[in-house]
Homo-oligomer: A and B are copies of this chain.
Amino acid sequence: MKIAILPGDGIGPEIVAQAVKVLNALDEKFELETAPVGGAGYEAAGHPLPEATLALAKAADAVLFGAVGDWKYDTLDRPLRPEQAILGLRKNLGLFANLRPAILYPELAGASTLKPEVVSGLDILIIRELTGDIYFGQPRGVRECPDGPFKGQREGFDTMRYAEGEIRRIAHVAFQAAQKRGKRLTSVDKANVLETFQFWKDIVTDVHKEYPDVALDHMYVDNAAMQLVRAPKKFDVIVTGNMFGDILSDAAAMLTGSIGMLPSASLDANNKGLYEPSHGSAPDIAGKGVANPLATILSAAMMLRYSLGRAEQAERIENAVKAVLAQGLRTPDIHEAGTTKVGTEQMGDAVVKALA
């Protein structure tokens, strides 16, 4: 089993190092190969997704990804900016299913900006389609406005689109995930305005026929954003498109107040996947040894479960993370009075110790 390790920028290298330490502490050894990506890819090879990095990711059985981005690359042309690496990996590896759990650990309930009774015990799973929608639709660009009151002016434009097969495959992933959980699926759309999402709604409704044991409901995206704030625990699994999923999954993660704890998986049709923390590269704290490595360590656990068929090892890691929380260890982002503040490495070491 070969794992591509792509640390990236900012805190990426520090947090990935901890996850690697955890992987190396398991009985079974995996082949780990590291390559630069994002700003680090640009520095090393003049491109955020160097060819060798992409080749490694393609050849590997799974990819463990840190984070990309740093202010110093903000002035580069868009195709050279760090975040293009993540878009390129998704598209080139066909990673169409993004799974983002928003879970609030009981010990961390105080970290949320929401009242404890609204979020304690929160456990929702957002499934975001990741290779379609307005992220990749053509045509797009800046052109002369062809008609209407602004005719002749410059205009920016993009194309939103979803083909039937694209919707079907993500719907199957979502219904199957719901079957393994609370058996409730909310499909989020904007069918009252967008043709793309009326079509989405129709196809999801059709796929539902194959999953009669799952309760399906449809919700407009604006209402979903409200309900996430009002009563997030009413959700079980949410499925939506790439653009709405980008917004809602980040909002849902922030409900927990501890985005430093949340892993994510991006899967292809054969359960090969890319695993990364839900948070970003946080260049402001990079190199200071204070970043929370737990989201990355939990991403490694998801990788063991989904792509490497090692569910038991995944559970061992997840239990080790629960154990260090129970011990009261906290990186600064989740620290509160009465708990012990630790740094990135100490936290990684504590997880390794708790594995035993």
Partner-B contacts on A (CB < 8 A): 78, 81, 83, 87, 113-115, 118, 134-135, 137, 140-142, 145, 148-150, 153-166, 190, 192-200, 221-223, 225-226, 228-231, 243-244, 246-251, 253-255, 257, 259
Contact = CB atoms under 8 A, between A and B. Distances in A.
30 contacts: A81-B192, A87-B193, A114-B114, A114-B115, A135-B193, A140-B194, A140-B195, A140-B196, A142-B195, A145-B161, A149-B165, A150-B164, A150-B166, A154-B164, A156-B196, A156-B198, A156-B200, A158-B159, A158-B160, A158-B161, A158-B196, A159-B159, A159-B160, A221-B246, A222-B247, A222-B249, A225-B251, A226-B251, A229-B229, A229-B255
A228 B153 CA distance: 34
A247 B254 CA distance: 16
B254 A157 contact: no
Contact of A162 (B155, B165, B253): B155
Given A113-B229, A153-B164, A195 B158 contact: yes
B247 A230 contact: no
Contact of A115 (B115, B134, B190): B115
Given A159-B159, A244-B247, 16 more contacts: A134-B160, A137-B157, A140-B195, A142-B199, A145-B163, A156-B196, A156-B199, A157-B162, A158-B159, A160-B160, A190-B243, A221-B247, A222-B246, A222-B249, A229-B251, A247-B247
A199 B163 contact: no
A7 to B, nearest CB: 21
Contacts of A150: 163-166
Contact of A156 (B145, B195, B244, B255): B195
Nearest to A146: B138
A225 B229 CA distance: 11
B115 A195 contact: no
A150, A153, A198, A247: residue with the most chain B Cβ atoms closer than 10 Å: A247
Nearest to A155: B163
A346 B150 CA distance: 48
A160 B157 contact: yes
Contact of A251 (B166, B195, B251): B251
B154 A199 contact: yes
Of all A-B residue pairs in the complex, the 9 with the closest CB atoms, nearest first, are A156-B199, A150-B163, A156-B196, A157-B161, A155-B163, A225-B251, A226-B254, A222-B250, A229-B254
A150 B129 CA distance: 15
Contacts of A134: 134, 160, 193-194
A155 to B, nearest CB: 4
Nearest to A221: B247
Contacts of A161: 145, 155-158
A195 B254 CA distance: 27
Contacts of A159: 157-160
A356 to B, nearest CB: 36
B229 A247 contact: no
Contacts of A248: 225
A332 to B, nearest CB: 16
A153, A163, A226: residue with the most chain B Cβ atoms closer than 10 Å: A163
A202 to B, nearest CB: 9
A307 to B, nearest CB: 22
Contacts of A118: 113
